[in-house]
């Protein structure tokens, strides 16, 4: 055991030293040396991951005995398994990497695929829409598996008490939830490998194939996300923290990539930067898949002599008492639905896109990059160390509803973030159509106010998700957590697509020849709703294309630029 830890520490130190050397001497090293050192760094990182997994697998002999880790001594216990506490945030992290490949690397991918720069917004939106729309069938499958297991457990469970359930339902959960979740993790890894194979060859790349692989990764995300929720909601806060921490780390890696290869005179920068991001996605998703497999399958089978799923300690047949709906569950449900559903109707296309001075857009993204990290991490820390201050407070024999303790009443008050976010969205759209009003004059192209309101709008989204998901479980709604999540996802995806159609129509018209001039407010609303819906349907039809390059170039001729 000590030898494995020693080798892991050595690999970690060598990786850090090699990384420092690469950054320090990047301008003095030849192309051959840079490639050699990057390859060596990749080997060291992979070796470090393998050694960590080997160390974890050996732990059953020294403390991972199926009783202290991670078996709950009582219902509501905090998660105790270090391996799963690493696997859950990494799973959240790995599943979000395809979103990064759609948004952050889009300017470089656009150049690699030899597309005109004025197609940037259309290219990003088309990729993102494909990713998002294919999440929906994945969500349906994941939700169906979870509710099928819950229905069986509800019919046959031993009693109506919280935290009970016949151990035979571990077998159901193993086959219907755990196995598919492991498969989804490996499919996520495989999708990035295929993406790399599609991205590299060819002078112009294989744009349409790249597009469909991104779509498939969205389908995999749609399956994986609800299954991760269904595996064990006790780890949900750190899973959400992992999802929200990915922009910080990936942006740092992106920064290093541009630092090393940003000189377009020396390097094919547009190709290399996306290439690095895909490799990072491959490595992270590989680690996530390995940890998930080890935590939920290999360790269980090595610890359980009979290899009987009913004896597995990482799989819990808990029921969360969701049948007893309460008023306290309403606040987190509203937070989840509004927080998920509204954000991408407005951000980033309307605010900051049409509201904020252009030179401030990057600065807003940098602020949000850091700020979005804190809400889920703070809640994860509170749940772990100071439960009575958190949204999910357990006091024997059950979780405490928000109305039953002091901090919970404060979290009830924070449901006001939902109407605040809705009001901000209305104000933004109103300002676009009434530019002579006092509201519009105080917001549009006013650096301080427009920046503040944009950041406030997005942080409402982040705070509500951090509070809503864990809070719904804390209010004894764990069995139904996937229902508000799916409703929020539906509104988010179709709302974003409708918003895209509206913005296309909005940008077609000159303010001097405004199409709704002289109309009543209601007739103007109907016009924008009709045209936005028409453009949305048009975009939906073009999701299924045989030649994405042709479709994108036609957008220039049709003046369908966002």
DSSP for 88-126, written as a single string = HHHHHHHHTHHHHHHHTTHHHHHHHTT--GGGHHHHHHH
Residue spans per domain, the chain: 1-62, 82-319, 322-562
> Are 263 and 273 in contact, with CB atoms under 8 Å apart?
no
Give one DSSP letter per residue of 386-450, joined into a string: -GGGSSSEEETTEEEPGGGSHHHHHHHHGGGHHHHHHHHHHHHHHHHH-TTSHHHHHHTT-HHHH
> Are 311 and 171 in contact, with CB atoms under 8 Å apart?
no
* Pair of tokens at residue 32: 């051959």
What pLDDT is recorded for position 174? 80
In CATH terms, the fold of domain 82-319 is Growth Hormone; Chain: A; (1.20.1250)
Tens digit of each residue's pLDDT, the chain (562 residues): 456 667 767 777 777 777 667 656 655 666 667 667 666 766 666 666 566 555 554 444 333 333 344 454 444 455 567 778 888 888 888 888 887 777 767 777 888 888 887 777 778 778 888 888 898 899 889 888 887 877 665 555 544 444 445 566 777 778 888 899 999 999 999 999 998 888 888 777 788 888 899 999 999 999 998 898 888 777 888 888 778 776 677 677 777 777 777 777 777 777 888 888 888 888 889 888 988 888 887 655 544 445 555 556 666 655 544 456 778 889 999 999 999 999 988 988 888 888 888 778 777 877 887 788 888 888 888 887 888 888 888 777 677 888 888 888 999 999 999 999 999 999 999 999 888 899 999 998 888 899 999 999 999 999 999 899 888 888 877 778 888 988 998 999 889 888 888 988 888 888 888 898 888 889 999 999 999 899 888 888 888 888 888 888 887 777 766 6
What pLDDT is recorded for position 154? 58
What pLDDT is recorded for position 496? 87
Which residues, in sequence order, are CB contacts of 50 under 8 Å at separation 6+? Answer: none
What pLDDT is recorded for position 66? 37
What pLDDT is recorded for position 52? 58
Question: Radius of gyration (Cα) for the chain, nearest Å?
Answer: 25
* Pair of tokens at residue 487: 């409703």
Phi, psi angles (nearest 5°) of residue 398: -155, 170
Phi, psi angles (nearest 5°) of residue 327: -60, -30
Give, in order, the Cα–Cα distances in Å from 440 to each of 293, 344, 351, 364, 451: 53, 21, 13, 20, 14
What pLDDT is recorded for position 5? 67
What pLDDT is recorded for position 79? 58
Q: What distance in Å separates the CA atoms of residue 419 and residue 342, rounded to the nearest whole number?
A: 11
Largest CA distance in the chain: 80
The answer to pTM > 0.95 is no
Give one DSSP letter per residue of 234-250, joined into a string: GGHHHHHHHHHHHHHHH
Closest CA to 252 of 19, 455, 14: 19
């Amino acid at each position: 055991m000590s030898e494995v830890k020693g080798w892991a520490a050595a690999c970690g130190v060598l990786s850090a030293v090699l990384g420092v050397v690469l950054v320090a001497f990047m301008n003095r090293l030849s192309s051959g040396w840079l490639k050699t050192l990057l390859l060596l760094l990749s080997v060291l990182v992979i070796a470090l991951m393998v050694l960590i997994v080997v160390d974890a697998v050996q732990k059953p002999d020294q403390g991972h005995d199926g009783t202290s880790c991670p078996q709950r001594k009582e219902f509501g216990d905090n998660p105790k398994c270090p391996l799963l506490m690493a696997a859950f945030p990494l799973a959240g992290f790995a599943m979000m990497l395809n979103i990064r490949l759609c948004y952050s690397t889009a300017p470089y991918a656009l150049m690699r695929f030899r597309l005109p720069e004025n197609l940037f917004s259309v290219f990003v939106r088309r990729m993102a829409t494909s990713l998002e729309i294919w999440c929906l069938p994945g969500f349906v499958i994941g939700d169906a598996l979870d509710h099928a297991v819950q229905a069986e457990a509800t019919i046959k469970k031993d009693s109506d008490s919280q935290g009970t359930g016949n151990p035979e339902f571990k077998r159901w959960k193993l086959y219907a939830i755990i196995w598919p979740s492991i498969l989804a993790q490996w499919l996520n890894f495989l999708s990035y490998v295929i993406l790399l194979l599609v991205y590299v060859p060819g002078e112009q790349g294989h744009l349409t194939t790249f597009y469909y692989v991104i779509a498939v990764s969205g389908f995999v995300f749609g399956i994986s996300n609800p299954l991760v929720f269904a595996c064990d909601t006790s780890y949900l806060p750190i899973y959400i923290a992992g999802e929200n921490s990915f922009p910080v780390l990936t942006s740092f890696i992106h920064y290093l990539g541009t630092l090393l290869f940003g000189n377009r005179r020396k390097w094919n920068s547009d190709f290399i930067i996306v290439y690095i991001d895909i490799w990072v996605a491959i490595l992270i998703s590989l680690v996530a898949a390995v940890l998930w497999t080890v935590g939920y399958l290999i360790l269980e089978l090595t610890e359980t002599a009979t290899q009987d799923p009913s004896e597995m300690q990482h799989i819990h047949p808990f029921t969360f008492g969701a049948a007893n709906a309460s008023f306290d569950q309403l606040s987190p449900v509203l937070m989840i639905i509004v927080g998920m559903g509204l954000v991408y109707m407005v951000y980033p296309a309307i605010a900051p896109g049409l509201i904020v001075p252009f030179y401030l857009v990057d600065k807003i993204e940098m602020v949000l990059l850091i700020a979005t990290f804190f809400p889920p991490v703070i809640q994860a820390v509170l749940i772990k160390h100071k439960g009575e201050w958190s949204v999910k407070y357990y006091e024997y024999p059950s979780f405490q509803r928000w109305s039953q303790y002091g901090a919970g009443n404060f979290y009830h008050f924070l449901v006001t973030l939902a109407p605040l976010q809705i009001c901000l969205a209305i104000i933004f759209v109103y300002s676009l159509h009434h530019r002579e009003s006092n509201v519009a004059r105080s917001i549009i192209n006013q650096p301080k106010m427009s920046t503040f309101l944009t950041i406030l709008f997005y942080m409402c989204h982040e705070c509500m998700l951090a509070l809503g998901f864990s809070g719904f479980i804390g209010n004894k709604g764990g069995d139904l957590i996937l229902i508000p999540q799916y409703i929020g996802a539906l509104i988010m995806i179709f709302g974003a697509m409708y918003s895209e159609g509206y913005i296309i129509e909005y940008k077609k018209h000159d303010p001097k020849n405004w199409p709704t001039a002289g109309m009543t407010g209601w007739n103007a609303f109907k016009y924008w709703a009709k045209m936005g819906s028409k453009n949305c349907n048009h975009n939906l039809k073009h999701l299924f294309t045989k030649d994405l390059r042709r479709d994108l170039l036609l957008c220039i001729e049709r003046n369908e630029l966002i």
